[in-house]
Amino acid sequence: MSEVRVAAVVILVATVAIDEALPDGLASWPAFHPTPAVLGKVELLLAGVGGPTVAVDVPASIAAAAESGHLVLTDEEGTPLADVAVHTVSTGDDGKLCRVSGPVRGLRPFSGGPFRSLRRRPDEVRVELAGTPAVGVPLSRPLIADDEQAFAEYATARGARLLLLPCVAEAGPAGLPPEVLVRAVLASGSRLGTPAGPALVVPLPLEPSTDAAAPPLSVEFVKAAGGTLVDPELLPNPRSWSRIAAALDSISSALEGLVAADVAAVLRSWRPPRTERGLTVFFTGLSGSGKSTLAHALTDAILERGRTVTLVDGDVARRQLASGLGFSRTDRDLNVRRIGWVAAEITRHGGVAVCALIAPYAASRAEVRRRVQAHGHFVLVHVATPLEVCEQRDRKGLYAKARAGLIEEFTGVSDPYEEPEDADVRVDTSQMTIDVAVDAILAHLLREGLIEPS
């Protein structure tokens, strides 16, 4: 096997009914939780779309256990959803992943996911269409006004209803959440009735495409439902989404000129003007550099502008979220990632998180940036106060203890601090007052349009 990928698990499954009784021995079989996109493919294939073989890329340890004859596919909570009857196992070139193959049967009905109540099996869609011709339109991004008109004219000319199929297994372009895509498609669908009947919106648990092509299983779904695929030339072009994304970043009315008013309202509720979006300001620097003092001062300044702010101080967060962790590299990384998760959730809900912690390693800081930027804005502030100044301050006596060997793995003494090369703002409290440093950070936030002027 020449290529095996960790992130992509390819699954083609035979069409089988869900077993009413769970099989004997299930508890002893190895289990694997694939990505949502992979589970979505399994769900469709079990519903009669595609098939009939299965190939699953799994870690070598799981593959070795599965050679006994079974592999259980689970949801994120470990609930068994399907059982692969393993016929063959092949090893990847890197020796870390293996491909497990064989037929599969469903164990429990799939559940969860946005707008689950709107999902249909292809045979259910066929019944609902009742012999009326239908044109299937797989969608990975919202429709602009021109798309709506083109689809309505295309279906009307063929005496058909429109079957709109938003792909919702994972986030789409620019982090577009599945539920937002469905809401936007529902808004469009309300106007896309034809003489043959109203538009039918059926979310598909497939990964959104990155180009204008329809995902292969969406094409199979349309066929199984008794419809025909829309002319591929009419499928929304990614460039139209680029125009929408740019308009969302603007306070002008450009968005309303691209999409219908109700679609614009859905998108604006997800991605409001920049000054109203979630924001994380993440301070990193050595112990004693002035991070916490700056974070408190910045929090006050943002509160004065009417935003809701949550201050996440490293020392406080370690007591509340990570009291059982030590100071090894692994534990420090885990501490930063936990705080990053909290910041991302605050950002996702439109709040402002101000975090102050040493965060000495570039990889964990990059992970926090990635998590936060999936939902809003991230600003990294490097408090670049020199080590000798921090050590002279030594307000907590930590440097003295580290120099005496009483504290192991202390950042700046016995453990490295990886200075950020991607800092958005850099301040040095040995060269500027707290007020001047905060003004520099506020100036950056104002230039980027992330806060309102006072």
Instruction: Enumerate the β-bridge partners of residue 425.
Output: 381
CA 147/CA 240 separation, integer angstroms: 10
Residue 308, both tokens: 């809701």
How many beta carbons lie within 10 A of that of residue 319, not counting itself? 10
Residue 165's nearest CA partner among 130, 113, 217, 126 is 217
Q: Residue 170 in 3-state DSSP?
A: coil
> Could you give the angle at the alpha carbon of 357 between the alpha carbons of 315 and 390, nearest 5°?
95
Residue 277's nearest CA partner among 449, 161, 92, 424 is 449
How many beta carbons lie within 10 A of that of residue 44, not counting itself? 27
Do 383 and 440 form a contact (C-beta atoms < 8 A)?
Answer: no
CA 435/CA 178 separation, integer angstroms: 43
Tell me the pTM. 0.74
Do 15 and 51 form a contact (C-beta atoms < 8 A)?
Answer: yes
**Residue type for position 379:** V
> Could you give the angle at the alpha carbon of 127 between the alpha carbons of 126 and 132, nearest 5°?
65
pLDDT by residue for the chain (454 residues), tens only, comes to 333 222 223 333 333 344 456 788 888 899 999 888 888 988 998 999 987 778 888 898 898 898 879 999 999 889 999 998 888 888 766 667 788 888 888 999 998 888 999 999 999 999 999 999 999 999 999 999 999 999 999 999 999 999 999 999 998 887 889 999 999 999 999 999 999 999 999 999 999 998 888 999 999 999 999 999 999 999 988 888 888 888 887 766 788 889 999 999 999 888 888 888 899 999 999 988 999 999 999 999 999 998 989 998 866 666 666 555 556 677 778 888 889 999 999 999 999 999 999 999 999 999 999 999 988 899 999 999 999 998 888 877 777 887 877 777 777 677 788 999 999 999 999 999 999 999 999 999 999 989 988 7
Q: How far is CA 82 from the centre of its chain?
A: 24
What domains does the chain contain, in order, with CATH numbers? 26-106 (3.10.400.10), 116-240 (3.40.50.620), 274-447 (3.40.50.300)
Q: What pLDDT is stored for residue 92 in this prediction? A: 67
Q: What pLDDT is stored for residue 279 in this prediction? A: 96
Residue 134, both tokens: 């239908």
Q: What pLDDT is stored for residue 94 in this prediction? A: 64
Beta strands in 285-390 (DSSP E): 309-313, 352-356, 377-383
> Could you give the angle at the alpha carbon of 264 between the alpha carbons of 263 and 268, nearest 5°?
120
CA 452/CA 274 separation, integer angstroms: 10
How many beta carbons lie within 10 A of that of residue 10, not counting itself? 14
